Amino acid sequence: MQTAEISRRYIDYFAERGHTVVPSASLVTDDPTLLFTVAGMVPFVPYLTGVVPAPFPRAVDVQKCIRTNDIEEVGKTARHGTFFQMLGNWSFGDYFKEGAIEYAWELLTKSEADGGLGFAERDLWVTVYETDDEAAALWQKIAGLPADRIQRMGKSDNYWHTGQPGPGGPCSEIYFDRGPKYGQEGGPAVDDNRFTEIWNLVFMQELINNVTSKVDFDVVGPLPKKNIDTGMGLERVAFIKQGVENMYETDQVRPVLDRASELSGRRYGADHGDDVRMRIIADHIRSSLMLMSDGVTPSNEGRGYILRRLLRRSIRAMRLLGVEGPTFTDLFAASRDAMKSAYPEVEHDYSRISQLALGEEETFLRTLAGGTTILDLAVSKTKESGKSELAGDTAFLLHDTYGFPIELTLEMAEEAGIAVDRGAFDTLMSEQRARAKADAKSKKKVLADLSVYGEYRAKGETVFTGYTDLQTDSSVLGILVDGVPAQKAVAGQTAEVILAETSLYAESGGQAPDQGKIVGDGYELEVLDVQKPVKGLISHTVKVTRGEVGVGVPATTLVDEDYRRGATQAHSGTHIVHAALREVLGPNAHQSGSFNKAGYLRLDYGWNQALSPETRSEIEEISNNAIRQNLEVVTRELPLDEAKALGAMALFGEKYGDVVRVVDIGGPWSRELCAGTHVSTSAEIGMINIVGESSVGASNRRVESLVGIEAFRQFAAERALVQELTQNLKTRPDQLVDRIGELVQNLKTAEKKIASYEQKALSDRVPALAAKAVRSGDVLVVAESVGPLGSGDELRSLATSVRGQLGDAASVVALAAEVGGKPIAIVATSAAARDTGANAGALAKRMAGVLGGGGGGKPDLAQGGGNDVAAIPAALEAVRAELGH
């Protein structure tokens, strides 16, 4: 049974039983504590916790998930994958344990001919929470399972909670017995490799608090509404139903594995190590494809870093299979073809996705080449020092700074005949992970407990009036001080204020929040921030500048009119620049992120090379022509499917409801889904002045622009600068470039002449310095101070010239000078002097120690320095004394 067919049967079964079919949420979650949607329940958390009222009593979905906690286990086991799909059915205060168990058992055991999944009852086992007698009895009643196939397990296995205070409850898991070939008898309590979990039924029935770990928490009491959260792993069911060994061999993953096998010439199944590498490639390529289809782009932080890691692990695995050239063209195409029936967007958006992937591959292959050079040097130094083990900090530097995988370091070091201090490397990696965990934990603690907003959200959604009104009368629904509900806030305090209505725009869609005030009888609040902590609720962070505000009192929101005007200009300007980019570069120049505020816009877009000055000017001109044409800006609310059918672009990372706001500028020329505030006609934007264009990743660029009055001010400042230059240089504006070029050329000519004179002056000093050579034992020694010089290069040139003047004699030249207020020493030795044991590196280090600094170098030429100019005579004397011995 194909993966897509399993998914279809699941959805159809629950839809026929009154469940609302909910489309998969993006892999990019809006939960601030998570990078990705890591489980099927993530999009439903607001409903499960009661913070947001559920819009339906029961639901069914197939949710895309990414989880990278066990990335090192990918390819090694049958069930670990970074991308997976979770089939879920949900009840929000509707059916509970009995209904969930009945549905699960019927769907699993009903024959394939009757629309079920056709599992044999004899192959299924279940686990329940150790004290959940009700669930155990229901399994016997509904499924007829004997008591010995219902195993009781503790909190670590069969109790679910979010890790935060809130809802929790026992769960019941369904396992499939793969047979004696895969392990010992005794059920999942004995062997969870042979007995594979395929479905988890969570009975959310309790409110918990004081959560310190998975198993350490307090049950406060029952939940007001009992919920059902169930999840069936699609990949796990697929590999069982398809009769293959693991998830990597299923129909949606195997094509990539096979392509990797073909490209490498290695047969899958012939070598365990190669098999693991091919499975890693198959998993990571699919995960990368799905992440990029949801708008994630490779970068060095956050979600982009995870994507980059997946891509680079794939490249590394291909290299370990013997393929050093590019392979993503073939691998991503294979994954696209395997996934497009379930997710058509991967085919529709493939041009952009492949551009990102190929750009990242090209960059990392160059990184590998550079890392190889660095590793070769490190290996040479290790051998020169007589050691047989590459230092762990060197391996960590290669991994952490240059992105060079440890597996490649180990492989290449072994080829060179040395080992790697893996223990030291692992210690450094553990320390880095500990720092990352501590950082993530500290960031998580900063976030307010979202359950505090539940009582306010239960009163309904905050009404946003700011599209049409800058002033709105409302009332205070709630006040939070330090994240805790309060009855009032007084002058000098900072607080969060929840209103029934507001004209103040909350930060979203790349647009910064409004500035303004909230006023009422006897109080005034300065608005510091406006956010949407939970869906449908707007919270205002304010400073009480006058009086006292309390819950229930009337309030009026006042938007700063000048700021809003600038913000609408910038947001509409962002749409115009985006349309201009696509007109010039084509549809692959798709917006991947943006930020705009009054007077400024920043737009990130998919592209893999810098814009030429001519292209940048063309985009700027198209944008300003659109402004000059005074195009009408039309906003409409439409069903999402209808909006997309009209060609409205949905921007990656944004969340859209069933009804969306469509913003047209000039009709279809610029048509995007957008909840931001906009001008009425394009002429109101005033002006676009592109001030920056830069790289933000291998396949991502960034345009920055000033907008409106800020754009004008920038031009005015540049005009004033041109006027000042023309006056000072006594030329006309149209001749300014030629005049400055002439001056630059004259300056270069003068600098060459000065350098020539300085070089001659140095050369003239060589004979006199050579004449000061004094024999000390077997060598001639010149140890002199030459006074102030312009650079260390001059001193080096002087020392080597004096050494040359002394010919083949055994000679040591030690010169010191003051450069930029600090002492510098150079020591040069001839070959004959080195034969006697003289070493420039050791002598330079000796001088530097006297000068209060450090130094060293090669035996023939070395440099040192310090901070004490007055110590130069003593440093020279130290050299004489050293050679005198």
Feature table: binding site for Zn(2+): 571, 575, 674, 678
Let me know: does 774 contact 809? Beta carbons within 8 Å. no
Angle at Cα 153 formed by Cα 149 and Cα 154, nearest 5°? Answer: 170
Let me know: does 310 contact 710? Beta carbons within 8 Å. no
Nearest of 482, 497, 583 to residue 539 by alpha carbon: 497
The helix or strand, by DSSP H or E, that contains position 334, with its residue range, turns out to be: helix 328-339
Distance between CA atoms of 39 and 65, rounded to whole angstroms?
Answer: 6
State how far the alpha carbon of 187 is from the alpha carbons of 153, 236, 547, 559, in Å: 12, 18, 67, 64
Distance between CA atoms of 379 and 321, rounded to whole angstroms?
Answer: 23
The helix or strand, by DSSP H or E, that contains position 89, with its residue range, turns out to be: strand 83-92
Nearest of 177, 176, 158, 178 to residue 168 by alpha carbon: 158
Nearest of 773, 760, 761 to residue 807 by alpha carbon: 773
Strand partners, 700: 606
The helix or strand, by DSSP H or E, that contains position 703, with its residue range, turns out to be: strand 700-707
**The two three-digit tokens of residue 288, written as one number:** 């990368």
Phi, psi of 205 (to 5 degrees): -135, -5
Distance between CA atoms of 723 and 721, rounded to whole angstroms?
Answer: 5
- 753 Cβ partners below 8 Å, 6+ apart? none
Distance between CA atoms of 526 and 547, rounded to whole angstroms?
Answer: 12
The helix or strand, by DSSP H or E, that contains position 10, with its residue range, turns out to be: helix 3-15
Distance between CA atoms of 433 and 439, rounded to whole angstroms?
Answer: 10
Output the furthest CA–CA distance in the chain (Å, rounded).
Answer: 110
- Binding-site residues: 571, 575, 674, 678
Listing DSSP states for 519-565 in one string gives: EETTEEEEEEEEEEEETTEEEEEEEEEEEEEETT-EEEEEE-HHHHH
HEC assignment per residue over 765-814? HHHHHHCCCEEECCEEEEEEEEEECCCHHHHHHHHHHHHHHCCCCCEEEE
Distance between CA atoms of 18 and 880, rounded to whole angstroms?
Answer: 97
Output b/e per residue, 71-95; b: 16+ Cβ within 10 A: beebbeebbbbbbbbbbbbbbbbbb
State how far the alpha carbon of 89 is from the alpha carbons of 5, 20, 537, 777, 840, in Å: 17, 9, 26, 93, 77
- 58 Cβ partners below 8 Å, 6+ apart? 14, 18, 19, 20, 89, 90, 91, 92, 94, 95
The arrangement of strands across the sheet holding 633-639 comes to: 633-639, 659-665, 670-673
Q: Which residue has the tokens 């195993």?
A: 151
HEC assignment per residue over 264-329? HCCCCCCCHHHHHHHHHHHHHHHHHHHHHHCCCCCCCCHHHHHHHHHHHHHHHHHHHCCCCCCCHH
Residue 41 CA, chain-centre distance (Å), reads 23
- 245 Cβ partners below 8 Å, 6+ apart? 78, 239
